[in-house]
Chain A
Amino acid sequence: MMHRLAMLAGALMLLAGTASAQDIRLGTVIPLSGGGASYGASIQQGLDMALREINAAGGINGRKITLDVADDASDPAQSVIALQRLVNDNDDLVIGGWGSSQVLANMAVAERAGMPYIVVGASNPRITTSANKWTFRTLTNDNGHAARLAEVVSLLHFKKIAIIYDTNDYGVGLRDIFTAGLAKQGIKAVDVESYQTSDKDFTAQLTHIAAAEPDAVMLFGTLPAIAAIMNQARDQGIDARFLGAAGLSNEAVMKLAPQAAQHAIATAYFHVDTDATAKEWAARYQQAFAQANQAPRPSQAAPAYEALKLMAAPCLAQVGTDKDKLRLCLKAWHGTLFGLPPAEAHFDDTNQLLAPLVVEEVVGTEFKLLPGANQ
């Protein structure tokens, strides 16, 4: 039995990447198998692109960056082991983490090992707390999305609002905060329905919603379920406007619900039309990954790219790879991100990045900025 484990250990060391000594080792824990595989691939694309650009420009103070990838198979227990491997490969910092359940499980490893960990793929508010020391998060959390959506609802004068949410922590989180936001405006949802992530048929929920005759339906969930809901809702004659958070701002929506998703509104972390850099970056990104087996998705790859290129790289250049200095540099970081309304972004005391969200709308086969919502 013992020789088995020894051989296993040897093999793993080999696979950990043939990085030369003075390279900067960037680790990433993402799902390359299981349900989140497509999201993991987009994050890796964002990191790869930033990495190549930095290395092409001579690296950071002459040191090249290498990427050490750990696949957590979209499973919380395995994501603990995956992040532990990155710590064990003594990577200098980790950018990654998709799925709230996975991050809630694996961030303890980063906190314990003292590893700077920038989360770019999970939005549950409970990830960033005052106890966070090493774990940062660049995505606006669900509170931000729900609050922004409540503003849009009042902006567009929707009165009869229905909610359908996924019973996972993403959906439940959004439902609670949004309902609170509505209450502040003195509005109560006309109907609230729930579904399981793996559900395929939503006849029962949509029949309830149809009866409430809403003028807006909030979709708090992820693909492919919310696309199926939109299709089945239109089939059942519900013509209310659809609104959603980051789960909806995914380019795959246009493929899965071409007609039903028209004019659906979504909050997002990136939009091409906000500024010139975003447009130029998106073009470079699309061109770079045109042949990749995972179709390029700017909205999913941008946060990872910006975390490395705009936040980690400057700090690495400034303080090198000393973990504590790196942490303090990140904590003090402030700057503007492209693809979002222009505003000064910085980390709060729970290491949550305070940055604006963009509000976009599906028009044809693209996301367009929702007029009047992105001042």
Chain B
Amino acid sequence: MLAQLLVGGLGTGCIYALVGLGFTLVYRTMRMVNFAQGQVFMAGTFLGLFGAQQFGLPALPLLLLVAVISFAVGMLLERVVFRRLYASHEVFVVGAIGLGVMIENGFRIVYPEPLPFPKIFGAGVYHLHGAVFQKTYLWILIVTLVLVAALHVMFAYTRTGRALRAVASDGEIAATMGVNVQRAIGATFGLSFAIAAVAGVLIGPLYFVSPDLGDMVGLKAFSAAVLGGINSVVGTILGGLALGLMEALAAFYISTDYKDLLAFAILVLMLLVRPQGLLGRVVPVKV
């Protein structure tokens, strides 16, 4: 019984972590929160559905294709839309929400009804002492680990990774050291779109694909990022996993009615007690 809950919780946790990463990357670089992240996740699922049905792509090439396309879309949207929204938090938040409304209802025109997602990650289930779970869960765990490792390697050792970190700490200084800040910011958005879209494809086989798929996942991933520490990559991942597990256990042991309450109560409490999150650094406010 417990194993069943843990696997379910871990699977959802990975999704919260990946979508949460999208919030963290953008926040670290621009101190802004992209509330359209949930809709990007949903768009990734539809992109995966389209790729799988129209072109019959198997799992791995599909994930790569979706990642590349979303990266490009992320950079394009940064140049065209987000770049004009940096005036203030308020303007960015409302602009991002508007974009999310456009994406969600745009998809609702094309796909008014929930659709089943082909079992590209393997049909059937695994048995693990008492717990039964779809093969897709295994892919979710693996891909999440791979993505986290890849991010770590990129940030630590590659030139673009260092450039992104420099921009995250201080844009002006990074510019003086010859970092093309605009491109780095674009890449950050591209990366956050790609990761969220990949998470979307991963979740496809588990849930049905519908335009409102991203709403709740977006808000929960956001709470997870705040829980873990919205300016820390590791913090967000652990926050996501923790929230996924806590929700699964709370739903079973406490009540499914108030399952969602848990995520939002955590969000509000964390903001009061430790706004920087469990692992986040305190960002000193210069007087």
Contacts and interface: CB of A to CB of B under 8 A. Distances in A.
A adjacent to B, CB under 8 Å: yes
Interface of A: 33, 35, 37-38, 41, 167, 193-196, 198-201, 203-205, 207-208, 211, 223-224, 227-228, 235-237, 252, 255-256, 258, 293-294
A235 B134 contact: yes
A169 B112 CA distance: 23
A38 B113 contact: yes
Contacts of B210: 224
Contact of A198 (B8, B216, B252): B216
Interface string B123-145: 00100000011100000000000
B116 A255 contact: yes
21 contacts: A33-B105, A38-B113, A193-B256, A194-B257, A196-B259, A200-B207, A203-B4, A203-B8, A203-B248, A204-B252, A204-B256, A204-B259, A205-B256, A207-B252, A208-B252, A211-B1, A228-B207, A252-B113, A256-B116, A258-B116, A294-B112
The 6 closest A-B pairs by CB, nearest first: A203-B8, A204-B251, A224-B114, A204-B252, A200-B207, A224-B208
Interface string B104-124: 010010001111100000000
A194 B125 contact: no
B69 interface: no
B105 A198 contact: no
Interface residues of B, number: 32
A205 B260 CA distance: 14
A38 B112 contact: yes
Given A167-B257, A205-B256, A223 B1 contact: no
B25 interface: no
Contacts of A204: 5, 8, 248, 251-252, 256, 259
B236 interface: no
A227 to B, nearest CB: 7
Nearest to A257: B116
A103 B108 CA distance: 23
Contacts of B206: 200-201
A223 B256 CA distance: 19
Given A201-B206, A256-B114, A195 B108 contact: no
B134 A207 contact: no
A201 B108 CA distance: 22
A149 B114 CA distance: 27
A204 B252 CA distance: 5
Interface in B206-243: 206-208, 210, 212-213, 215-216
Contacts of B192: none
Contacts of A252: 113-114
Contacts of B260: 196
B14 to A, nearest CB: 12
Contact of A203 (B5, B112, B212, B216): B5
Contact of A235 (B9, B108, B132): B132
A236 B208 contact: no
Nearest to B260: A196
A256 B208 contact: yes
Instruction: Tell which of A37, A200, A204, A252 has the most Cβ of chain B within 10 Å.
Output: A204
B207 A236 contact: no
Nearest to B134: A235
A235 B125 CA distance: 7
Contact of B208 (A194, A196, A211, A227): A227
A223 B207 CA distance: 12
Contacts of A33: 105, 108
A201 B252 CA distance: 12
Contact of B4 (A224, A236, A258, A293): A236
A195 B256 contact: yes
Contact of A237 (B12, B132, B207, B212): B132
Given A227-B114, A235-B133, A236-B132, 17 more contacts: A41-B112, A167-B257, A193-B256, A194-B256, A196-B257, A196-B259, A196-B260, A201-B8, A203-B5, A203-B8, A203-B9, A204-B252, A205-B251, A207-B5, A235-B132, A236-B4, A294-B112
A194 B215 CA distance: 20
A37 B114 contact: no
A198 B215 contact: yes
Contacts of B215: 198
A352 B12 CA distance: 44
Contacts of A236: 4, 132
A307 B259 CA distance: 41
Given A207-B252, A235-B132, A237-B132, A198 B212 contact: yes
Interface centre among A38, A207, A211, A227 (most CB of B within 10 A): A207
Contacts of B256: 193-196, 199, 204-205
A176 B113 CA distance: 29
B53 to A, nearest CB: 13
Contacts of A211: 1
Interface string B6-17: 001100100000
